[in-house]
Amino acid sequence: MRYAFSTLGLPGTALERSAALAAAHGYDGLELRAHPEEPLHPGSPRADRAAGLRTLTAAGVTALTVAGYAKVAAPGPDEPVLAEIRALVRLAADLEAPYVRVFPGGGEQSWRDADAHAVRRLLAAAPFAERHGVRILLETHDSHRTGTATARVLDRVAHPGAGALWDVLHTWLGSEPPAESSRALAAHLGYTQVKDVRSVDELTPLGLGGGVLPLGEAVALLPPGGWLCWEYEKRWYPGAAELPGQLARGREHLEALVAASRGERQAE
């Protein structure tokens, strides 16, 4: 298993610092939040992208994902959404990142309408992404927070340029057991995001293992050799503890979860 963390936990931090932290604490990759608040985003000039790739390469760290904010299931015209996705794909290609993260964002419309928007847009964008060596991952989030809802869209898209990002928090908030999420997403899974919180009503991020999420159960269901990414949402919770001091313990916890899952498989 390979490990990454999201730069959402280091808001506004220079890429050199994020990459150095990843390398120093044994993380193989970074999930790069693609927003104008951050060092790299779709509006970044080519020179900045090239410098960013050199920084990551020098640190021995992979750009796992360009984590964008396009909402594929949102109401409205398609072209602005598709243009946003294409810009994210180009950034990912420039950084040699295999994935782009998008959200559903279906809002208050019916699930049928939301699904139709998402399917249509992903069908349009997936071939473009595939040509650039990138896969668009629809995160289990907001209007499609369960694996079942996300797979309902991806089953219809059925294109190698589109897949799923399993956010364990959101499937849990959607009252979907990890086994059900895993079954639904198995044919589409790109990788899995983990985090921890105190309760449904208290979502301030905690160190891994310090909360109530069924992380061990979820990790035990993952195929070997993939990516686990820790998304510590410091950007949305400024009062949360700083991430750098937790990175070593977080990596150790992930390794322990993976080791336990291997032991369970060997015992079966």
Reading the block at residue 255, the tokens are: 């390794």
Q: Is the pLDDT of residue 169 over 90?
A: yes
pLDDT at residue 5 in the model: 98
The pair of structure tokens assigned to 113 is 């309408």
Confidence of residue 266 (pLDDT cuts 50, 70, 90): low
Per-residue pLDDT of 81-123, as tens digits, reads 999 999 999 999 999 999 999 999 999 999 999 999 999 999 9
| Pairing, β 135-139 against β 99-103 | parallel
196: left (phi over 0), alpha (psi -120 to 50) or beta: beta
Q: pLDDT, tens digit, for every residue of 131-154?
A: 999 999 999 999 999 999 999 999
pTM here? 0.97
Cα–Cα–Cα angle for 101, 96, 41, rounded to 5 degrees: 55
Query: In whole numbers, what is the pLDDT of the chain averaged over residues?
Result: 97
* Residue 263 pLDDT grade (very low, low, confident, very high; cuts 50, 70, 90): confident
What pLDDT is attached to residue 137? 99
Confidence of residue 31 (pLDDT cuts 50, 70, 90): very high
Domains and CATH numbers, the chain: 2-267 (3.20.20.150)
CA gap 176, 34 in Å, rounded: 29
